[in-house]
Chains A and B, each alone.
Chain A
Amino acid sequence: KAGVTQTPRYLIKTRGQQVTLSCSPISGHRSVSWYQQTPGQGLQFLFEYFSETQRNKGNFPGRFSGRQFSNSRSEMNVSTLELGDSALYLCASSLGQGGTGELFFGEGSRLTVL
């Protein structure tokens, strides 16, 4: 069974640009969560989608947005990039929303903003 796939793995952008990251969950998983990982802030929750609906949202500005498609694939977008957006963005999938199930993580998309 294929794991969670995130693309691209690495990307470099400049301030003011926008970026779209993609996540394909494990087959059959309907919930997708996004996290931002930085050395200073650790793992910060961005949002969670289940059945194409955003179910939870973290404390990030409106520049960060996401969506989920009918096949459970998800994308997140960051507009007007800032230097502080440089981070590893991790996507995780699970069978259902929250509950007792663990999350399965992809290897992440490492974004560098210059």
Chain B
Amino acid sequence: AQSVAQPEDQVNVAEGNPLTVKCTYSVSGNPYLFWYVQYPNRGLQFLLKYITGDNLVKGSYGFEAEFNKSQTSFHLKKPSALVSDSALYFCAVRDEPGNMLTFGGGTRLMVKP
């Protein structure tokens, strides 16, 4: 079975400061990991994914994520937050090619000016 946990319901950060949104996962095999962002009344937009290779993955809008196998984590990061980054962020995992994508509960990011 596969599962994802996002331990923080909300993360608050000041504009210009670095941000981290946490994600931990549980899978039986090798994980395929994804981050998505959702703006109000919109669908989810893909940010980045880890499949294999370099543990640091770079994605859209300046976001990056670090895969840590020993800690089973895939935290989302950005060096300098923007007010426009305020949104709902979802981490997702798939452990077998034929499995569906399982999402975490989401973390609301609030960036204040």
Contact = CB atoms under 8 A, between A and B. Distances in A.
A64 interface: no
B97 A58 contact: no
Given A103-B46, A107-B43, A45 B102 contact: yes
Given A105-B43, A107-B41, 8 more contacts: A33-B100, A42-B106, A45-B100, A58-B100, A92-B43, A99-B32, A100-B49, A102-B34
A10 to B, nearest CB: 10
Interface in A43-70: 43, 45, 48, 55-56, 58
Nearest to A100: B51
Interface of B: 32, 34, 36, 41-46, 49, 51, 90, 94, 96-106
A55 B106 contact: no
A106 B43 contact: yes
Contact size range, A: 20 to 34
8 contacts: A35-B103, A45-B100, A48-B100, A92-B44, A98-B97, A107-B41, A107-B43, A108-B43
